[in-house]
């Protein structure tokens, strides 16, 4: 699998293109991501959102329209896509597929697994493709997503971290901001973050 990444906008939100078996998956197209994505895909098949915060979804609609793709978004965060109190000029987007809880999709043999880890926001999820986990704002290198935003829930984050700690495999984590890490590496830090919530 090949993974391309470009930090977008003032919050340097990572937009990813994951290419596997000749299929390009666009993950979290943030502010002004459209042209970079179009320059770097050859066979785009889907737009995937880890969650609904504006800096991860800004270019959803442009890419839906320009590339004729379906948009997949965790159900709990869909209201954020149409109404952002932080960014009232957010271009609204409307998912074609609402992802509910833990869901595995099959794109002609390529498995895409959404794993629901709420806390940072109601729909917050990771997306697993091959040996990669795209973690959005759930977990970062030596950090976790904030829980002081509207609709954040520290108790849900604690529960999500407890479940993350139980994952019995390793993958490279590609977070919504910052550098890559691994599941096993961040599991070493999980107890510390649970205590802080």
The phi, psi pair for 76, rounded to 5°, reads -60, -20
| Residue-level pLDDT at 86 | 74
Please state, in angstroms and rounded to a whole number, the distance separating the CA atoms of residues 20 and 1.
5
In three state form, how does the secondary structure of the chain look? Answer: CEEEEEEECCCCEEEEEEEECCEEEEECCCCCCHHHHHHCCCCEEEEECCCCCHHHHCCHHHHHHHHCCCEEEEHHHHHHHHCCCCCCCCCCCCCCEEECCCEEEEECCEEEEEEECCCCCCCCEEEEECCEEEEECCEECCEECCCCCCCCCHHHHHHHHHHHHCCCCCCEEEECCCCCEEHHHHHCCHHHHHHHC
Please state, in angstroms and rounded to a whole number, the distance separating the CA atoms of residues 118 and 180.
21
Candidates 3.40.1080.10, 3.40.190.10, 3.40.50.150, 3.60.15.10; CATH matching 2-196: 3.60.15.10
The pLDDT tens digits of the residues spanning 13-68 come to 999 999 999 999 999 999 999 999 999 999 999 999 999 999 999 999 999 999 99
The pLDDT tens digits of the residues spanning 157-174 come to 999 999 999 999 999 999
| Residue-level pLDDT at 122 | 98
Indicate whether 85 pLDDT > 80. Answer: no
Give the CA radius of gyration of the chain.
Answer: 15
Q: Dihedral of CA 76/90/15/25: which sign? A: positive
| Residue-level pLDDT at 196 | 94
At residue 6's C-alpha, the angle toward residues 65 and 96, to 5°, is 30
Question: What percent of the chain is modeled with pLDDT above 90?
Answer: 95
Identify the band that residue 5 occupies on the pLDDT scale cut at 50, 70 and 90.
very high
Across the chain, mean pLDDT equals 97
Please state, in angstroms and rounded to a whole number, the distance separating the CA atoms of residues 66 and 39.
12
Give this prediction's pTM: 0.97
| Residue-level pLDDT at 88 | 78
| Residue-level pLDDT at 150 | 87
Indicate whether 87 pLDDT > 90. Answer: no
Question: What percent of the chain is modeled with pLDDT above 70?
Answer: 99
| Residue-level pLDDT at 182 | 98
Range 131-153 average pLDDT: 97
Longest Cα separation, the chain: 45
| Residue-level pLDDT at 83 | 79
Q: Which residues contact 154 (CB under 8 A, 6 or more apart)?
A: 119, 147, 197
């Amino acid at each position: 699998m090949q993974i391309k990444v470009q930090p977008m906008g003032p919050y340097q939100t990572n937009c990813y293109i994951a290419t596997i078996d000749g299929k390009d998956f666009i993950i979290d197209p943030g502010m002004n991501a459209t042209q970079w994505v179009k320059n770097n895909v050859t066979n785009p098949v889907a737009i995937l959102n880890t969650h609904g915060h504006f800096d991860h979804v800004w270019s959803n609609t442009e890419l839906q329209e320009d590339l004729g793709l379906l948009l997949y978004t965790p159900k709990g965060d869909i209201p954020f896509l149409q109404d952002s109190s932080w960014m009232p000029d957010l271009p609204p987007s409307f998912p074609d597929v609402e992802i509910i809880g833990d869901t595995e999709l099959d794109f002609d043999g390529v498995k895409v697994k959404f794993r629901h880890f709420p806390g940072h926001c109601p729909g917050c999820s990771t997306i697993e493709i091959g040996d990669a986990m795209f973690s959005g704002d759930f977990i970062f290198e030596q950090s976790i997503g904030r829980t002081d935003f509207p609709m954040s829930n520290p108790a849900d984050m604690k529960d999500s971290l407890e479940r993350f700690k139980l994952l019995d495999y390793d993958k490279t984590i590609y977070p919504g901001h910052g550098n890559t890490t691994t599941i096993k590496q961040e599991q070493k830090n999980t107890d510390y973050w649970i205590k802080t919530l």
